[in-house]
Amino acid sequence: DTAVSQTPKYLVTQMGNDKSIKCEQNLGHDTMYWYKQDSKKFLKIMFSYNNKELIINETVPNRFSPKSPDKAHLNLHINSLELGDSAVYFCASGHRGTDTQYFGPGTRLTVL
């Protein structure tokens, strides 16, 4: 009965690789989000997406791209991974009108 789930929980990879993190929500929400939490616990929005609109935080490198096969999924694809990409990535979902977001358990990405 997990509301927002992410896989994998941990991801360790080499610089230059391409990787994806998957996110699924079973709450029937129309909007999904990706956040990055750095080593100092600072949380920053990366993307907001529903089936009509993608909003990208302008500071996010174009190596990062969200991909949504359907309304319940928003995967995060990262090309040419860099050391600075090491962080915990959180997926969240919510209804666009109600503003409360529910977070997934996070994926800890380590780039070596």
The residue ranges that bind other proteins (CB under 8 A) are 31, 33, 35, 40-45, 48, 53, 55, 57, 90, 92, 94, 96, 99-106
Nearer to other proteins, 14 or 97 (CB): 97
Nearer to other proteins, 41 or 83 (CB): 41
Sign of CA dihedral 45, 47, 51, 53: positive
CB of residue 80 to other proteins, shortest distance in Å: 25
CB of residue 14 to other proteins, shortest distance in Å: 26
7 within 8 A of 21, measured Cβ to Cβ: yes
56 within 8 A of 63, measured Cβ to Cβ: no
CB of residue 86 to other proteins, shortest distance in Å: 17
d(CA 64, CA 18): 10
Residue 90 parent element (H or E): strand 87-94
